[in-house]
């Protein structure tokens, strides 16, 4: 008998989504039969995955399973070898980071993708710089004070202590850089948020803040995909868990009916274990290929 799982919210958590109509991209994000080859390496092989508004999907798998590759394709920074990305009923044919952004997709990449020579506020507003009002706007004057204030507020929601939002990111610790990357995604998130190991460098308290923030995104009707190796946390935050193994969807399970041990077995695969991990599958089951 499983013990009850502590969730990050008590209401509106599961698939109903607690949708409050706040999002601009109120549509599902879908990967359809995605294949990605890097030379002879097949990083992804016929992957199908969907995340709906008001849903958090946990994407798990071993190192090299293809998680970051899939997120980068969904984010538009990497083109698939074949297959397509859909947002709602639209094919996201010309997937570029800019187009993804227009569609309301925000991403925290595993490598964080920060411009280290720029300060925190500049990174949070990278590509979306805010200009002053009035005639100086036409001269391209940036409203640095406003950008710094909004960045400080975003960082404060993570309860992360930073020296200042005016220090170059190169001077920050790994955890502080991660907080900047998460804050940037959250501040601009309009519907779909992709998080690749967003808490790997964070302390326990900051990790909890990130999971509360994810819960907040769900409550507002946001769709979230989170990659993590922390299976306990994934079970607590996700509505559905998708297991990638060797570039394929090996299983799709409910966190409510899967233990950490069962998830670990699904990640490793039947060849690596005597315990028959596929027995642990919930609805969705293993990819039949
Ligand atoms: N730019 C690239 N060039 C060549 N091979 C790549 C590239 N990016 C990823 N790969 C390969 O694709 C496969 C999947 O990599 P990916 O980074 O998606 O794994 P992952 O599941 O995110 O792993 P991790 O948990 O270690 O982050 C690996 O075999 C990797 O070596
Ligand atoms: Mg990765």
**Pocket test residue of 45, 60, 67, 108 for ligand 1, highest count of atoms within 8 A of CB:** 67
Structure token digits, residue 15: 């698939």
Q: Per residue of the chain (289 residues), give pLDDT as tens.
A: 334 344 444 333 444 343 333 345 567 899 999 999 999 999 999 999 999 999 999 999 999 999 999 999 999 889 999 999 998 877 776 667 778 888 889 999 998 889 999 999 999 998 777 776 766 566 667 778 888 999 998 888 878 788 899 999 999 999 899 999 999 998 888 899 999 999 998 888 889 889 988 999 999 999 999 999 999 999 999 999 999 999 999 999 999 999 999 999 999 988 765 444 343 334 333 333 3
Residue 22 lies in a domain: no
Contacts of 92 (CB under 8 A, 6+ apart): 76, 84, 85, 86, 99, 100, 103
Decide: 68 in ligand 1 pocket, CB within 6 A: yes
What is the model's pLDDT at position 264?
A: 96
Distance 66 CA to ligand 2 centre (A): 7
**Pocket test residue of 35, 47, 66 for ligand 1, highest count of atoms within 8 A of CB:** 66
Residue 15 lies in a domain: no
Residue 199 lies in a domain: yes
What's the pTM?
0.84
> Residue 100: which CATH number?
3.40.50.300
Tell me if 190 sits within 8 A of 173, measured CB to CB. no
Tell me if 227 sits within 8 A of 196, measured CB to CB. yes
H/E stretch holding 63: none
How many structural domains is the chain composed of? 1
CA dihedral 138, 24, 70, 169 (to 10 degrees): 40
Distance 111 CA to ligand 1 centre (A): 12
Residue 161 lies in a domain: no
Residue 162 lies in a domain: no
Residue 244 lies in a domain: yes
What is the model's pLDDT at position 222?
A: 93
Give nearest CA residue, ligand 1 atom 2.
38
What is the model's pLDDT at position 143?
A: 79
Distance 56 CA to ligand 1 centre (A): 23
Decide: 110 in ligand 1 pocket, CB within 6 A: yes
Q: Which range marks the domain in which residue 90 is found?
A: 29-118+189-280
Residue 130: CA atoms inside 13 Å, Cβ hemisphere, count?
Answer: 16
Q: Ligand 1: which atom is nearest the Cα of residue 66?
A: 18
Contacts of 226 (CB under 8 A, 6+ apart): 56, 57, 58, 59, 195, 198, 214, 234, 237, 238
Give nearest CA residue, ligand 1 atom 3.
38
Q: Ligand 1: which atom is nearest the Cα of residue 71?
A: 18
Q: How far apart are CA 30 and CA 27, in angstroms?
A: 10
Residue 105 lies in a domain: yes
Residue 100 lies in a domain: yes
CA-based end-to-end distance of the chain: 32
**Pocket test residue of 64, 67, 194, 196 for ligand 1, highest count of atoms within 8 A of CB:** 64
């Amino acid at each position: 008998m499983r013990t009850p799982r502590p969730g990050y919210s008590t209401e509106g958590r599961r698939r109903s989504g607690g949708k409050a109509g706040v999002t601009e991209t109120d549509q599902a994000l879908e990967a359809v039969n995605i294949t990605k080859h890097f030379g002879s390496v097949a990083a992804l092989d016929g992957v199908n995955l969907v995340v709906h508004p008001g849903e958090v999907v946990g994407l798990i798998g071993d190192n090299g399973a293809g998680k970051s590759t899939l997120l980068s394709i969904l984010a538009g920074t990497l083109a698939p070898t074949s297959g397509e990305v859909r947002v709602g009923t639209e094919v996201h044919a010309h997937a570029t980071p800019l187009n993804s952004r227009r569609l309301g997709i925000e991403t925290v990449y595993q490598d964080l993708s920060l411009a280290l020579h720029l300060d925190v506020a500049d990174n949070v507003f990278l590509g979306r710089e805010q200009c002053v009002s009035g005639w100086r706007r036409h001269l391209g004057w940036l409203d640095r004070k406003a950008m710094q204030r909004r960045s400080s507020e975003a960082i404060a929601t993570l309860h992360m202590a930073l020296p200042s939002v005016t220090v170059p990111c190169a001077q920050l610790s790994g955890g502080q850089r991660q907080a900047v990357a998460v804050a940037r995604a959250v501040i601009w998130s309009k519907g779909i948020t992709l998080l690749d190991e967003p808490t790997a460098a964070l302390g326990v308290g900051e990790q909890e803040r990130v999971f509360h923030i994810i819960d907040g995104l769900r409550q507002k009707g946001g769709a979230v995909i989170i990659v993590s190796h922390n299976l306990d946390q994934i079970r607590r935050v996700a509505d559905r868990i998708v297991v990638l193994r060797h570039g394929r969807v090996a299983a799709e399970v409910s966190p409510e009916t899967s233990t950490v041990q069962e998830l670990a077995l699904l990640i490793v695969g039947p060849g690596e274990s005597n315990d028959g991990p596929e027995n642990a599958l919930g609805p969705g089951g293993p990819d039949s290929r």
